[in-house]
Amino acid sequence: MKSFTYERAKTPAEAAGSVAKASGAKFLAGGTNLLDLMKLEIETPTHLVDVQDIGLDTIEKTKDGGLRIGALVTNTALASDQRIRRDYGVLSRAIVAGASGQLRNKATTAGNLLQRTRCPYFYDTNMACNKRQPGSGCAAIQGYSRQLGVIGTSDSCIATYPGDMAIALRVLDATIATVKPDGATRTIAMADFHRLPGDTPQFDTVLERGELITHVDLPRPIGGQHVYRKVRDRASYAFALVSVAAVIQPDGKVRAAFGGMAPKPWRVEAGEAGLHEDPAAAMETIFSGARPTEDNAFKIPLAQRALASAVAQTRS
Amino acid sequence: MEFKAPAETNLFDTAKIVGKSTPRIDGPLKTTGTAPYAYERHDVVANQAYGYVLGSAIAKGRITSMDVSEALAAPGVITVVTSPDSDIPGISSMNNARLFGGSEIAHYHQAIACVVAETFEQARSAAALIRTKYDREQGRFDFPALAPGAPLAKGRGGKPDEASLGDFDGAFAASAVKLDATYTTPDESHAMMEPHATIAAWEGDQLTLWTSNQMIAWGKKSMGEALGIDPENIRLDSPYIGGGFGGKLFIRADVLVAALAAKAAKRPVKVALQRPLMANNTTHRHATIQRIRIGAQTDGKITAIAHENWSGNINGEDGENGTLQTPVLYAGANRKTANYIATLDLPEGNAMRAPGEAPGHMALEVAMDELAEKLGIDPIELRIRNEPTSVPSKPEKRFSDRNLVRCLREGSQRFGWSDRQAEPGKVRDGQWLVGMGVAAGYRAAPTMKSAARVRLDGSGKVIVETDMTDIGTGSYTIIAQTAAETMGVSLDRVVVTLGDSRFPASSGSGGQWGAASSTAGVYAACVNLRRAIGEKMGFNGDDAVFADGRIRTGNQVVDLADAGSLSADGEITFGEFKRGYDVGTYAAHFAEVAVNAYTGEARIRRMLAVCDAGRILNPLSARSQVIGAMVMAAGAALMEELAVDKRFGLFINHDLAGYEVPVHADITRQDVVFLDTLDPIISPMKAKGVGELGICGPGAAIANAIYNATGVRVRDYPITLDKYFEKLPTIA
Amino acid sequence: MNGKGELAVSRRGVIVGGTSAVALASLPASGQERAQAQPSASMPPAAMPVAFEVNGAPVELTLDTRTTLLDALREHLKLTGTKKGCDHGQCGACTVIVNGQRINSCLSLAVQHQGDTVKTIEGLGTPANLHPMQAAFIKHDGYQCGYCTPGQICSAVAVLDEIKAGVPSHAQDDITAKPRVTSDELRERMSGNICRCGAYSNIAEAILETAGAKA
Ligand SMILES: Cc1cc2nc3c(=O)[nH]c(=O)nc-3n(C[C@H](O)[C@H](O)[C@H](O)COP(=O)(O)OP(=O)(O)OC[C@H]3O[C@@H](n4cnc5c(N)ncnc54)[C@H](O)[C@@H]3O)c2cc1C
Ligand code: SF4
Ligand code: FES
Ligand code: FES
């Protein structure tokens, strides 16, 4: 871990300003991802701006009947909130399917969205990795890629976004509110938040330098049955091989976003429409253009079965 | 004391303490965080500096240069020890690869430097400033590709490791029912929770190593060899060991670089291997390929059985021999085993809990399940029909004590085996397909000579000192029980001190020999102490009765405290007579597993082990040994695999997130039953170990349960869902 | 290996190589290259004061900012009951209770804890005065090597509080329901604490007993 200086910001604006000011500065929320990566010198910030004191730790009702989640709300607090459990069950379920109790107590909403990939070659600094060191190559391609992405990947990077919460946020059409160092704010749809790697896999999201996530906004509840089906090798404390966040309406209509498949939560609204009538055809649309490796081709049929299992679960 | 004839009736047959469930005497320390592990010993020596180990970035080749100038200039750095600049032997006779020293790189993450600094943070960041240039060579990383051309391993006395009896080929060809199947098991990691760690301190030429090692006497000798110094100048101390499972049987890079770094820094240095280094830097269980052929008559009697095994290792020696149990477990007049080994450039393979037998059962006991199905015979019945009367591969050799059939019958009843549907895929519970599986287990019960010192401190306290280790096995407690029983005092009057090489050399902890051997050694020392007391007080120690803190001879009663301070050493050695017997432990393992019909996720619902291991010294901790082994077996069956990158020659999933071991949620109900057997051939205690027996079989029972649940047979471990979910019966 | 030049790196990850130094693949973007890319590497360590409470006693330390809460406890305060199993959030051995909530102390900087209340295994009980959870672990033999044990016990104590507080878990069928102390709940909630010795089912029994529930 490289040396760094540390400060605690008092307000969102101050935090954004501090990160913009110092080159090599980063926000520190729970630290459960950033510190892990700093120990391995995958991340080497020279200055950390701790955001724990900037507020943004509540969940408020919005005017249009949705909820506004502060960026610093912990995973535990978010999953425990009665309104979330009642009206956005898929979100609560996705969160408790992730990491461990200890990690969820520390992990924040913003930090969770921004957690980096779990590609094993990204984690081993002796290996070439375009995401870690742009232009160095990608050791995962033709390597051990069982966990890696099947769609949305590129010739530069085949990693996945590994988290769970974001998959539920995607299916709920959440938006992300930010403030930039100059004070400008913007709203980013979940659909647009994580980037596909293309030639620049080092950028996971569309955030700019010093841009601080302040909130995640949920639109008004959409009803339906909420399921989060996470398929993994062990029963808990493991990243998904494949996961699906689904909301199933009484008329059988299904919304579904998939985790473990792509560099971002994978949802294709155009394909979704057919899910309740001809799931196989719909899944073909959703995963058309997939480029799996020999190791991870199983993820596509598994995703379909995970969804079928989720739907069946709501019927029983 | 030489154990030279079968044990007769002795004081352990009327024991009041030995054999009773006893909470661990080290429990209050372990549960309050006050038991000191190697890296934590702030109190033993002042001025400790921090070492951080750098691992090689390549798997094969050589270091052409190392520039440590920037690291040396970094804040807080005291010194840097590098492999090319170290001309120590760097290897002991027990390691399969050099641990440190020289420029050759034999495997990935081989230790190439240790940075010593005032703080951990400084040492870690300076390690990243070392610039190393390598000349990389092509390595042999593809075990499955190399296995077919691999030669026979060296067996006993350097002879090729194969054995046969009768005419396997002829009998197999002629048999009514044949099974010929090949199974694979992957490389596995010990993944003990405490990383390998050491504090090293020199005083002149005297070296003290507070470390985490299962085998103190081996470690001392090995460190002498690896450093090229007289082992008499070395002291090892390992009172608490945070898990070993074979991974701490031999010295590793931590202890070697700590010693070198402490010398260079001229002050004590502490080193713990970073978790991401452990999988490639230390040892692992080798992958195997196993072909099993069994021929049987229609009544299930095996007429021919062959088990061939392939594994690989860095030096072309010391592989994972999956055939070990096969010469012993089932009858059959015509048999063959062969063990081949390829030479690889992957990290060093070495012993992990029940080496050979653990993966061996994962193959053989599935083969038996497959054979049972072909025959249309219940798998328990098939095993019973093939119960031998003497060692099948050496019919002149007797079993010391063998109750496998009892284990199977008792287990069948307790598990509710009769509810099992023989036809697979028939039991549904919502989305889940449910099945049951069984496997037999055999693990040899070796013994090793073992010594101890037992002292009286004048207050009636009994103090036991031996270099025996407690790696979670419960040694502290069974040793205390043994001493309390033999000296006739209550458990709280016994103090046990372990793991210090200044104490008499014990068997150490490995190969499931620790419990039987070390307690017998303590018994031997106690017998000598009783004699010494008798001599001092004027009676025959062998005839006196030691009970309730008093000694009774004739009509004279004295307090043990009256004997004053006295000390006696004793050692148990094991005589030739044992050679005529196969001394083993047996088990029947059961599992019920549910498999999600959509996704193939397998979740264990319950497990049972019925064990035959002679006297159980402490049923509470013995049970823990067995359930722990069952958990590890579940990991091997369902999830554990060091993933080999065959291009770069490393295990790429080298941390605890990438290498998944079972968590709480994977393990539900576990039951263990011990048969009340006694084995007079093993030791005066008639007690055998169970720590490895518990991992011999449960993996296969789980695999068989998955088959019974789904009708899909997966022969490549671990049985992860991607290997079979698409073949699952379709859901209505 | 001379930086990037000598072993060309292919974007497909693998190249066919020369003779002696067979270029197997995109070799190691090694530490050496990264260090070169970042001349700021040896910025002097930043030290900062931090004050928090550990097991009821106030502590004040001046620490390298890089010091984790775990290393502050183990190396600076010499409270070695909290264990380091992985240092990467992957095992749970370092679990401590901060402001009433369990966290992995290895993935938290000490300086993040200014003003916090930290409880470690040493603060739960002592050999002479065991916490009921510690006593239950001994009774049910909920440990073997003992290395994961302090983390298991801290976690277990916090888990019972979490259930009481209504924090939901993956084991619940109905996410809106109030969780109960059941064996399945405990196993799911304890899954962030790995025990390689495999004491799991004994640990579950120890916790159930402490919670006053039947197995
Ligand atoms: C062993 C292990 C297992 C795990 N398993 C899972 C799992 O199964 N599922 C899952 O979803 N997750 C899992 N996680 C990941 C965990 O959920 C994340 O580490 C956590 O959510 C990150 O949150 P944090 O607040 O600690 O982020 P930090 O580590 O503090 O920050 C992460 C990143 O976000 C940036 N950042 C933080 N806050 C802001 C902000 N407000 N605005 C802009 N940038 C910001 C930081 O600069 C940093 O780059 C696991 C983690 C570990 C260690
Ligand atoms: S897949 Fe992406 S993250 Fe993984 S090694 Fe390749 S570039 Fe790096
Ligand atoms: S040491 Fe913190 S989780 Fe392993
Ligand atoms: S007791 Fe050894 S890891 Fe849990």
- Closest residue by Cα to atom 3, ligand 4, is C195
Helix (H, G, I), strand (E, B), or coil: what is residue B592? strand
In the numeric block, the tokens 């921004």 are attached to A114
Give me the catalytic one of B194, B465, B640, B692: B692
Instruction: Spell out the residues 6+ positions from residue B267 whose beta carbon is closer than 8 angstroms to its own.
Output: B47, B48, B49, B78, B201
Q: Is the pLDDT of residue C24 over 70?
A: no
Q: Burial, B201: exposed, middle or buried (Cβ in 10 Å; 0-12, 13-18, 19+)?
A: buried
The neighbouring-strand residues paired with B290 are B183, B309
**Chain center to CA of B544:** 39
- Among the bound ligands, the one closest to the CA of A200: 2
Instruction: Spell out the residues 6+ positions from residue B140 whose beta carbon is closer than 8 angstroms to its own.
Output: B146, B342, B343, B344, B345
C86 lines ligand 3 (CB under 6 A): yes
CA–centroid distance, A232 to ligand 1, in Å, is: 19
Q: Give the separation between CA B324 and CA A138, rounded to whole angstroms.
A: 42
**Yes or no, beta carbons of A6 and C109 under 8 Å apart:** yes
Sequence letter at residue B625? Q
The alpha-carbon gap from A60 to the nearest alpha carbon of chain C, in Å, equals 19
Tens-place pLDDT, residues A125-162: 999 999 999 999 999 999 999 999 999 999 999 999 99
C92 lines ligand 3 (CB under 6 A): yes
Contact pairs from chain B to chain C, CB under 8 Å: 262
Q: Give the separation between CA B207 and CA B200, rounded to whole angstroms.
A: 7
Residues in chain C with CB shorter than 8 Å from the CB of B75 are 42, 44-45
Contact pairs from chain A to chain B, CB under 8 Å: 103
CA–centroid distance, C103 to ligand 2, in Å, is: 29
To test the contact with chain C by mutation, choose from A3, A34, A40, A228 the residue with the greatest count of C C-beta atoms within 10 A, namely A3
Task: Give me the pLDDT at residue B142, please.
Answer: 98
Q: Which of C41, C143, C198 sits opposite B631 (nearest CB)?
A: C198
Task: Give me the pLDDT at residue C215, please.
Answer: 44
DSSP for B638-673?
HT----EETTTTEES--STTTS----GGG--EEEEE
Of residues A295, A297, A299, A303, the one with CA closest to residue A141: A295
**Yes or no, beta carbons of B720 and A233 under 8 Å apart:** yes
Helix (H, G, I), strand (E, B), or coil: what is residue A95? helix
CA–centroid distance, B302 to ligand 2, in Å, is: 52
**In Å, what is the CA distance from A138 to each residue of A166, C14, C130?**
25, 9, 53
Tens-place pLDDT, residues A296-306: 999 999 999 99
Helices (H) and strands (E) counted in chain A, each on its own, are: 13, 11
Chains that touch C (3 or more CB pairs under 8 A): A, B
- Pairing mode, if any, of strands A67-70 and A185-189? unpaired
Chains that touch B (3 or more CB pairs under 8 A): A, C
Q: Is the pLDDT of residue C29 over 70?
A: no
DSSP conformational letter for B154 = B
C9 confidence band (pLDDT: 50, 70, 90): very low
Which ligand 2 atom sits closest to the C-alpha of A120? 4
- Closest residue by Cα to atom 19, ligand 1, is A33
Q: Say what the pTM is.
A: 0.97
Helix (H, G, I), strand (E, B), or coil: what is residue B185? strand
Mean pLDDT to the nearest integer, A214-219 = 98
**Chain center to CA of B647:** 31
Q: Give the separation between CA C92 and CA C74, rounded to whole angstroms.
A: 15
The alpha-carbon gap from C166 to the nearest alpha carbon of chain A, in Å, equals 7
Name every protein residue with a CB atom under 6 angstroms from any ligand 1 atom.
A 26-34, 36, 51, 71, 98-99, 103, 106-108, 110-112, 114-115, 163-165, 212-213, 239; B 657; C 89-90
Interface subset of A 286-315, CB within 8 angstroms of B = 298, 301-302, 305-306, 308-309, 312-313
Residues in chain B with CB shorter than 8 Å from the CB of C14 are 647
A56 lines ligand 2 (CB under 6 A): no
On whether any CB of chain C is under 8 Å from the CB of A143, the answer is yes
* Nearest chain B alpha carbon to A297: B722
Q: How many CA atoms lie within 13 A of C7 on its CB side?
A: 31
- Among the bound ligands, the one closest to the CA of A100: 1
**Buried b vs exposed e over B474-502: b needs ≥16 C-beta within 10 Å?**
bbbbbbbbbbbbbbbbebebbebbbbbbe
- B40 is an active site residue: no
Q: Is the pLDDT of residue C3 over 70?
A: no
Q: Give the separation between CA B682 and CA B575, rounded to whole angstroms.
A: 10
In the numeric block, the tokens 């119960």 are attached to B387
DSSP conformational letter for B394 = S
Give the H/E segment covering residue B55: strand B49-55
**Chain center to CA of B236:** 21
Of residues B218, B267, B211, B201, the one with CA closest to residue B236: B211
- Among the bound ligands, the one closest to the CA of B243: 4
**Yes or no, beta carbons of C68 and A35 under 8 Å apart:** yes
**Yes or no, beta carbons of B664 and A236 under 8 Å apart:** yes
Task: Give me the pLDDT at residue C178, please.
Answer: 97
* Nearest chain A alpha carbon to B647: A143
Largest CA distance in chain B: 85
- Among the bound ligands, the one closest to the CA of A145: 2
In the numeric block, the tokens 């890296």 are attached to B39
The alpha-carbon gap from C102 to the nearest alpha carbon of chain A, in Å, equals 5
* Nearest chain C alpha carbon to B72: C42
- Residues with pLDDT less than 50, chain B: none
SS (H, E, C) chain C: CCHHHHCCCCCCCCCCCCCCCCCCCCCCCCHHHHHHHCHHHHCCCCEEEEEEEECCEEEEEEEECCCEHHHHHHHHCCCCCCCCCCCCCCCCCCEEEECCEEEEHHHCEHHHHCCCEEECHHHHCECCECCHHHHHHHHCCCCCCCCCHHHHHHHHHHHHHHHHHCCCCCCCCCCCCCCCCCHHHHHHHHHHCCCCCCCHHHHHHHHHHHCCCCC
**Yes or no, beta carbons of A2 and B125 under 8 Å apart:** yes
Task: Give me the pLDDT at residue C45, please.
Answer: 77
The alpha-carbon gap from A274 to the nearest alpha carbon of chain B, in Å, equals 20
The residue whose CB lies within 8 Å of the most ligand 1 atoms, and thus the one to mutate among A38, A91, A108, is A108
Residues in chain A with CB shorter than 8 Å from the CB of C28 are 126-128
Sequence letter at residue B70? E
Of residues A20, A79, A27, A80, the one with CA closest to residue A49: A27
To test the contact with chain C by mutation, choose from B25, B32, B655, B670 the residue with the greatest count of C C-beta atoms within 10 A, namely B32
CA–centroid distance, A45 to ligand 4, in Å, is: 35
In the numeric block, the tokens 């966990």 are attached to A147
Tokens of A293: 């490796």
C79 lines ligand 3 (CB under 6 A): no
Tokens of C148: 């994961």
Residues in chain A with CB shorter than 8 Å from the CB of C107 are 30-32, 35-36, 103, 106
Which ligand 4 atom sits closest to the C-alpha of B242? 2
- Pairing mode, if any, of strands B669-674 and B581-582? unpaired
The alpha-carbon gap from A194 to the nearest alpha carbon of chain B, in Å, equals 23
Residue C137 near residue B31, CB atoms below 8 Å: yes
Instruction: Spell out the residues 6+ positions from residue B535 whose beta carbon is closer than 8 angstroms to its own.
Output: B541
Task: Give me the pLDDT at residue B511, please.
Answer: 86
Residues in chain B with CB shorter than 8 Å from the CB of C204 are 664
Task: Give me the pLDDT at residue B398, please.
Answer: 97
Which ligand 2 atom sits closest to the C-alpha of A130? 7
Q: Give the separation between CA B571 and CA B731, rounded to whole angstroms.
A: 64
- Among the bound ligands, the one closest to the CA of C29: 2
Residue C126 near residue C115, CB atoms below 8 Å: no
CA torsion B711→B714→B720→B725, rounded to 10°? -40
The alpha-carbon gap from A257 to the nearest alpha carbon of chain C, in Å, equals 19
